[in-house]
Amino acid sequence: MKKYFITGIDTDIGKTFVSIGLCQSFKEKNINVGYFKPLQSGAYLENGILKAPDIEELKKYLSIPHGFSYLLKGEVSPYLASKINSIKIDTEKIKKDIEEFSSPLDVAIIEGAGGLYCPFCENKTFADFISEINIPAIIVATPDLGRLNHILMTLECAKFKKINVKGLIINKMPKNPTVSEKYFLEELKDFTDAEILCTIPKNCTGEELISVFSKINL
């Protein structure tokens, strides 16, 4: 079985969007895929039930196995949310949850929060956790001005933490790009040999999205 950890260069970069797209692509190939969110902050109450926003988004499009370890109220980092909610995050529990969730699947898509150095729990960032569980990471980025800096720093952080980076997914590629966006991929390739798994057009149609994800080799 395969596992992939979806991370990004920042928050609100499209990690959930990409995770759903990857799950959809695997499902269409009749591959038994599931989605797992170790730590979900920003959880909300609905009819007395605590809901995970990213899982609720997934359920709008797909009916596949899904799970989580901790649901935390507060639109903040998981670590801060755990402090606000007086919940101690147990990394060993999360590792066990991931293994148990993944075992019956062919592919497990595991989504993080924020970027690699987003606080995970006491004394650990997501980079520390991904390094510990040794799951290949897929980094989601956008081509906006200044993002090249974010991507290269994220790749350096991954290298420092000995994280296996499977590749990059460039999200929200505009159809009418600025000069920097037009040459973004060319410039990026001049500074890293990290594989660009795909580019996703901004405001793409469902058919375009399916086509893009179907060509990713994972």
Residue 30 confidence (pLDDT) above 80: yes
153-176 per-position pLDDT tens digit: 999 999 999 999 999 999 999 988
64-101 per-position pLDDT tens digit: 999 999 999 988 999 999 999 999 999 999 999 999 99
DSSP β-bridge partners for residue 165? 137
Catalytic residue among 37, 161, 166, 172: 37
**What pLDDT, on the 0 to 100 scale, is given for residue 87?**
93
Q: Give the integer Cα–Cα distance in Å for 158 and 167.
A: 11
Secondary structure tally for the chain: helices H, strands E: 9, 10
Annotation marks residue 202 as catalytic = no
**What pLDDT, on the 0 to 100 scale, is given for residue 132?**
96
**Domains contained in the chain, CATH given:** 2-214 (3.40.50.300)
Q: Is the alpha carbon torsion for 65, 71, 168, 138 positive or negative?
A: negative
Residue 206 confidence (pLDDT) above 80: no
For residue 179, count other CB atoms closer than 10 A to its CB. Answer: 8
**What pLDDT, on the 0 to 100 scale, is given for residue 209?**
81
Residue 214 confidence (pLDDT) above 90: no
Query: What average pLDDT does this structure show over 30-46?
Result: 93
Contacts for 76 with CB less than 8 Å, ≥ 6 apart: 41, 84
**Which of the residue ranges 1-10, 101-110, 198-207 would you say has the lowest mean pLDDT?**
198-207
Residue 211 confidence (pLDDT) above 90: no
**What pLDDT, on the 0 to 100 scale, is given for residue 11?**
87
Contact at 8 Å (CB) between 34 and 102?
A: yes
Radius of gyration, CA atoms only, the chain: 17
Give the predicted TM-score (pTM) of the model.
Answer: 0.94
